[in-house]
Amino acid sequence: MSNLFSGLEEYGLTGLEKMDVYAQESKTKLISNLQKRVVVKMREEELVFDKTYKCPACDAEFKSKVVKTGKAKLIQTDSDLRPKYDHVDSLKYDAVLCPECGYAALGRFFQYLSSAQIKYVRENITSKFHNQKFEGSYYTYDEAIKRHKLALLSSMVKNAKTSEKAYTCLKIAWLYRGKRENLSNDTKNYENEIKKLQASEDEFLMKAYEGFNGAFSKEDFPMCGMDEYTVMYIVSDLAFRAGKLDEAMRMLSHLLSGRGANDRVKNKARELKEEIKKAQEANQE
């Protein structure tokens, strides 16, 4: 099993190799590996700005970069609903990280911590965290991946809902995909790097699948801002990507027979169903 938290050593968080994302209780420690800055086109720094946050874990005020409202133009979505924007990958800016104490979370979850969760964060992250000063004008994929891994670690330490962990894993997988798609052809050992990025993406997609699949019958909707049918669709797509074709088809059948699904989700489900049928036929040849 690879180390999901590789890349976080520079923050002073080590010894995370054997941590289980979905364990009921995890006692925490942390890991990093700086990679070269990805060349970003079209002046990405003009599309982001510094937003001020107050950390719920340590009360420090700090700034985190976010995409300006209305500036990111949606081009398309992948089959697993990963959004793709013109000029900027807005997914890089979803995680909010307090540079003082190390607490991090996706933006929608950042402000909500109980007193017990604050205690867990301070004991398991802050006590070991090394502040890394950021001086860039935008986040590279490597920086974004590390920020999201810190968000995943925080979700584990604070015993967050399974769906929050799954959603964070999905975001990390999408970031690895974005980095892979934007990797320059003249990168040293290009083919090997592509394989590594694909492997990392697949690993986090599987973690997302495990989490959403487990949360589906245990948590209430909306889940991470998504309704039941959207989550059902994502689980189907993740199952398909994991090679679980029969499971994906069963979930899609439930979705398509449901009365509450909107046309957009049902159309995506029909497209995915056709792709799965092709894969099943290919397996029988």
**Per-residue model confidence as pLDDT tens digits over 90-105:** 999 999 999 999 999 9
Torsion 129-197-106-113 (CA) sign: negative
* Tens-digit pLDDT profile for residues 230-269: 999 999 999 999 999 999 999 999 999 998 999 999 999 9
Mean pLDDT, residues 25-36 taken together = 45
Rounded-to-integer distance, Cα 198 and Cα 42, Å: 26
pLDDT at 16: 80
pTM (predicted TM-score): 0.87
Domain boundaries, the chain: 9-214, 227-284
41-72 pLDDT tens trace: 568 999 999 999 999 999 999 999 999 988 88
pLDDT tens digits along 218-231? 999 999 999 999 99
Rounded-to-integer distance, Cα 235 and Cα 36, Å:
33
| Across 170-181, average pLDDT | 98
Asked whether residue 121 carries a pLDDT value surpassing 90, the answer given is yes
- The whole-number pLDDT of residue 123 equals 97
For residues 166-177, give the mean pLDDT. 98
Statement: residue 74 has pLDDT above 70: yes
Instruction: Check if the beta carbon of residue 17 is closer than 8 Å to that of residue 155.
Output: no
pLDDT of residue 42: 60
Q: Please provide residue 158's backbone torsions phi and psi, each rounded to the nearest 5 degrees.
A: -85, 5
Q: Which residue has the higher pLDDT, 134 or 211?
A: 211
Provide the mean pLDDT of the chain. 91
Quote the pLDDT of residue 11.
Answer: 81
Q: What is the pLDDT of residue 9?
A: 80
Residue 278 one-letter amino acid:
K
pLDDT > 80? residue 171: yes
Segment 186-192 long-range contacts (CB within 8 Å, at least 24 positions apart)? none
Reading the block at residue 193, the tokens are 């790097």
